[in-house]
Structure 1
Amino acid sequence: MRLRQGITIAVVAGGGALTTMLVGLVTNAVSSQSRWPGWLGWIQRHPWLSFVMLGVATVGLTALLAALSESRGPTLSAEPPPRPKDDAGPPGAALVLRSLPRDSAAFTDRSAELERLEVSVRASQERGEALPVHVIDGMAGVGKTSFAVHAGHVLSERFPDGQLFVNLNGHTPGRSPVQAVEALASLLAAAGVPTQQIPVGDDVDAVTEARAAIWRSRLADKKALLILDNAASYRQLEPLLPGSGGCLVLVTSRKRLAAHEEVVLPVDALPPDDAVNLFVRLSGRSADTLDRGVLEELVRLCGYLPLGVSLLAARLRHHPSWSAEDLRERLVAARDRLGELRAGERAVTATFDLSFRDLTPERQRFFQSLGFYPGTDLDAYVGAALGLVSVAAARSHLDALYDAHLIDEHPGSRYRLHDLLRDYARGFADEGASMDHVQAVQRVCTYYLAALAAANTHIVRGDAVAASALDIAFRVEPPPMQTRPAALSWLENERPNILACIRRANSLALHDLVIRLAAAMAPFLRQAGPWDQAVGLHRTAAEAARHTGDRRALAGALAELGVVRRCMAAYPEATEALNEAVRQYETVGDRRGKADALNQAGIVWYLTADNEAAARAQSEALALYRELGDRLGQANALADLGMVRRQTSQFDAAVEAQSEALLIYRELNDRYGEANSLRDLGVVHCLMGEYERAARQHREALDIYRELDDRHHQAYALNELGVVCRLSGDLAGARDAHAQALELFTEFGDRFGRANSIRHLGVLERVSGNATEAIRLLEEALDAYRDLGSRGGEAASLSELGAALGNIGNRDGAVEAFQRSLEILSELGDRCGEAEVLNHWGSLLRTCGDQAAARERFERALTVARDIRCPLEEARALEGIGRCDWAVDRPVQAAGSLRQALAIYRKLGADPAADDIERLLTSQPG
């Protein structure tokens, strides 16, 4: 390609030079001012013919350049190309996914099966038909997974939008099959969907259906390949199937699955010749040096199964002094010892036994310990805890077991056991030749407690779970986690393994470990989700605490359950759990625990606008924190109390509480708390009309959130900054801030924050004159607030909705909205909100010509606004009174009210409103 382009460029350059020369010669010939020598004189003597030659050359070059342009594609447009549509995915999500395991070096010839699969796929694609599900079935050890993975790599170019692999644990010893709802969460996360955007809830069927809908939407119009390995039933995998007919699904299972429109690809034992060839290739020896008859007997003894053949070959490769006959004798002896097993498993297990006996005693014990690991995959650190060895020794053992084909290698220096090998390793417990199962689980759980303590130092505010507090009878070496991103990455990778360990510990009645692990996982699950997973964990911890009678642990589990329920906007359930936590803490005399639970309960009551209960809870929590000398607790309670005071329009008290909290946060160097207090101070100062100060505080908070890489709270700061921009007249800046916040809230699945952003955008549309769009947005926000039980949000939406309905002449609808909003605001004690609604209502009545009723609403708003010192609503009320007086021909009284409003508007920096009043005042003489 480059050579062809180079030749073309050279031709164009040469042609350009020739054209230039011809132009010069022709010009010179026409001028007749000089004579050219040789053949150039002919051109000079025939000038018109030279012009013809020039034209031909020009046309030729033009055609050549056009052809070159076409071959290189269309010319660049001044506008950027349109972005591909992917409505199901968040911004920045990866469109192409690669998660297939490495293709096995032990894969042997399966040309017939592979050809059948390729023909089936190619035929469907060429006919434009939906690809059927392809089920690969066969007995254990026959190589179903290896075939599926190999086929995935072979077919990857036909499915450029991604290749995904999911192990469903349908037949994994000691583990329950993966539920569809859990597998969908993993698939959505792998496809770039943030965990907070993945649906959660108590109704498993409903959550499964919701997640499946997103998954199908994610793969709509895509060509992707999905391998569902080790499936237990069609019911398990059905929700995981993409809706797009362009996606290929390969399913492996030991059972015959009844799927609709399926293509079954049975994978049987290898043909004898293929099994022998595989053995020779993996043994590392020349076929000429091996007795063919003995090889045929060896592969027959292991059932012609690829797993058994590869293990036998590895034994011979690792023992150069052995002959094939030596290996045969050992295999026969092992096979006789395991004769009680079924034929297929007997053959494979005999090879396991032979490989196992070839290990050193130390390595045998290490391998046995792996059989008790509840998780799916493990690294050297987990291996060290299981085997009671150093990490270096565990790494050496794992490498050796991999070389011996007793474990499989996975990306990230991780390993896993084949299901049959796991079963084989666990079988030693029945023979009394292995460490106790309970001890193994205790060791790995204790390791995870220590590792979680290290991770939590980077993600928990205040005191993390301390490793020194653990009862560790052996040395634990957690992996290095020097930064917050490293800790979060480790937690995300180990999450399924830790949860599996907790389930196993719970089944073994290791209640203390269940309680501790749940508490240690709580900070991560609280912020990363999925929250329904966290709910299940904390319920399990609560039941474990009830079994042991540990009321303090029960209170802790209930408190965490309440926090997660609050994150899910399940406020009644959150309140119930937190109230019970408070009672349990009181029973055991744990004042700090009680203060923490009260603080969290107060937040829930604040969110549901039960301001009296919220203020009472935060005040009680603050008193307890002060008694304990807990500075961080004091700051948290003060900050949350300040939010309650602000919500009830007690602005001076709110500023006082938040300012004290801010000082403590800065004293403790708690950047997160500092940002939160700055943000809420900005809200209060905005309500007080101090827009410049409010904007500065919101930007400071936003900068800190960005420094902390906390995108969730960045969204809250952006929303508040957008409000200040709107009130200052910067509608474009407001729109940009709210749009960014909406995008982030949608990504994180924060329904309350998303409703706030939609409401603010609705207000922007109203003040911009787009009443129809404003109504649509405000009704959407209203529905969301009602679903969440947020009465404050409902009242705010009704207030703005009434104003928008009034703008399109729907007076009855507007009045109904105002009345309902005032009822809620009166119950909540939000006097600032009442003043705003009264001003909206007054404006509606004034435009309808009812000046007396309008003036009455404005006067009520003015009284409330001055009482709580809310200058914006005071100015709006004064403006409304002045305009009413102006309409009934009372210019003197009108001018007085309008000038007062003008002065306040100018002081606030609300220039558009001030300019309107100035124009009105100057429109009349005198």
Structure 2
Amino acid sequence: MGEPIFGVLGPLQVRARGGTGPLPLGGPKPRAVLATLLLQPGAFVSLDVLTEVLWPGGAPRSAVANVRTYVRALRRALTAAGVATDGLRTLPAGYALDVEPGDHDMLLFEHLLDGARAARDRGDDATALRGYDAALALWRGGVLQDLPSSVVWDPVLTRIEELRSLAVDECLEVRLRLGDYPPLVADLRKRLAEDPLREDLWQMLVRALYGAGRVTEARAAYAEAERVLAVELGVAPGAPLRATGEEINGHVARRRTAPAAPVCQLPMDVPDFTGRDTEIAALEELLSGAGRRPVVAVVSGPPGSGKSTLVVHVAHRVRHMFPDGQLFVDLGGLSGRPREAADVLAEMLRGLGVIDNAMPSEPGERAALLRSRLAQRRVLIVLDDAATGAQVRPLLPGTGGSAVLVSSRRRMPALPAQHCPLGVMRHDEARALLGRIVGEDRLSVAGADADRVLTGCGSLPLAVRIAGARLANRPGWTVGALADFLHDERGRLDQLQTGELEVRASAELSYRHLPEHAATAFRAFGRLPDQAVPGWLVTVAMGRPREPDRVLETLLDEHLVEVVGTDPLGLQRYRMHDLLRIYARELAEADAPDVWRERGLGTVDALIALARCANAAMPTRFLGVLGEALPLPGPAAGLARAVRARPIEWFESERRVLVAAVESALRLGDHARAADLAVELAGFFDMRGYYGDWLRTHRLVLDAVPAPPDARSAALLRNLGQLHLYQDRYADALAAFERSREVFAALGHRSGEAVAGLGTGTVHRVTGALDAALTSFTEALHASRAAGDRHCEAVAHNAIASVWLERGDPDAAAPWLAHALALSRDVGDRHREAQVRRRIAVLHELRGEPQVARAELERALEIFDELTDTHCAAYVQQSIGELCLRQGDAGQASALLVGALAVQQQLGDRRAEARVACLLGELHHATGRKQTARRYFHRSLSAWRRLDVRDQAELVDAKLRSLR
């Protein structure tokens, strides 16, 4: 077998297949990327993980781009050296590296080790020895010893290093059975120099010396083992070593009384334990590694997530791995007085057989005695409800094969432990748990109501168990009745209590231990929407906090909130579980009413200010009336530069929060703030086609705004008219535009009047009333000039030109388009420039210049693509498709029109959808694909009928009949 291509068992190296030496891989960061991928061969490695490896102290803003650059550099280096890079796969938000076992020294090591163990187990020691030697020969030093360490790598490095150590020990045992005594003695003495307290190594050394005929040295080695164990640990040799000593010393085995049964203090396992398969498997694998050194696992999670239940369940499952006993201690972390280490140590030592007269008085001495007692034993220790890492640290073993399972609501990063964060259950697991409690038959009859109950419980194990217990104790209840009770947030926590189990009490235990500022932050989440929110918004909702980042870190450590990702601006997003948020809302509502209102409106003000900041930097100019810029409050001020640099991304990140804030302002009785925020959102909703959010926010505010109408109402009406127009509700659109124009005119708001008038004219143009359209556009032009609104003036010129183009008079339209293009460029409105170029394309086509028309459309599409305006880009794509169709280019026309149709369907533009579907029907009819043509004609006919446009419906119906 040739040397592996990829090597991590020592310095990182890559060899060309059949090559003579390692290949150059570039600087330390590309090497670190490759190392991370090789430590998880074939597995998905996210960009977040790679970022943590490369910049553990905090990543730069360009981190993602840099990672991609390093991956490209690796591809080039590997390709140049003749190493195939097909296995280096780029995935959404990450990468994976597929490697054959024979090409990767770590995989090859494990493969050879498995073969050696299989040979050993079937009694073929000679084959096993060859396998062990081949596996261990792959090691060139420590894993990735030439690269800076990373906490991300620690679990894999720990596992593979421990596997190597086990392989060495197993190889020594095989060599002992094969009688390879002289060299074995030297190797055993070397191992004992590294770890002199291992009785198994002393036993092998004594047997090897004895087997080699060196009886005196064997007896001396046994005596030395007795001395070392007595001095270092204060214990005599264990039974296996002692039996070997008696054998070589010629002693006759004495009768011994049966040893006392090992201690087992584990509480009873939950009989209906369900789910958590992933966590159980991870913990069992981790605990199975206890042997050469102790293993510590910390299970932490939010209130009610089932931490204690899980650790007890796992402890019962792995009892057989720890024959020397199992200890259980409740540390009382969330009680009024967490237990002192000295008292806990005394309890644990008594469990291990230490009598009170032999108990040291000092905590340090007790901890040392505990470590001594555990050094030669395999004991499982379960520490439930730990308060802090400092409380746990004195209770940990130092050497030997014991393991510790810790449960805590707090993260304990300082402990030398593997951390297992526990969240809510998966939906299927939560449903299975509910079924175990109430009965599968009853649950299956409930159907969707069972899912409604689980939604109300947020899949939190404690809540699911309480809900199940309530149903089990009330056979007359239906599952739907409980689901209805849980639907109302304000009464949900009252429903989730039974006997001694109560979600509110569980949450209260965590809350009451929070420091003051963390408690304020916890209540602040009760004022915020049920969405992932950025940290700055939490600090606004708190009022004026000190050290806001540290406060949020406290909530994270307590598992009261979680980080659910990072938004495009690089801000972490925080979310609180629904049931905790409801409890936080109860606490926040208990604050003084003026505090509740002030902090609630403070968040709305911050969002309005940032929305205006974003709108001022948007790549498109929304044809509406927006508010003036506002000073940004403290926590939001630091975001101004990032928001101005990426306004669309900011709106996208905060969309759900912004919509919820409109509703929040209305609940707080501030209609003006609700209207201001809704108006600022319309432009973004327009660009991205979020018509549902657009309609909801504007209707809610308009229904709530008291009479008489003001400029805010008029702006909302104009925006609503635009939405009606997009969705072909022409009567509603005309009414909204006209009412808006009247209100603006009565207020003397000429710019608003012009914008509303342009909407009125557009409705007339679309519905064929061209004279009325020309009148409305001309009046809007005069109003925009009077207001000095050059942007609106450009729109009016373009609109007037559209009427002349509808009449088929390109010469009359030309000067209006020239003015519109010049004005758009003067005011720097590229979006409007693209709209004008669409009209210029129509002009050129009317003049019989299709190539010039195509060029104008391509320039318009390029601008819309740059501005990420999918809505307008779809219309241009449709226009290019129609132009291609008229020029006989059926293939390109089909591709363009299908793409446009998909966007128009998503946006709900039924008129455009009907027209494009008809065009596609004609295209497929002309190319002989009648079945496809029939499908598109049916789609078009259905759309025209829904729009009640009878003449168009009749034309399409005639086309359908012609296919029969």
**How does the TM-score come out when normalised to structure 2?**
0.48
User: Which structure is higher in helix share?
Assistant: 1
**How does the TM-score come out when normalised to structure 1?**
0.50
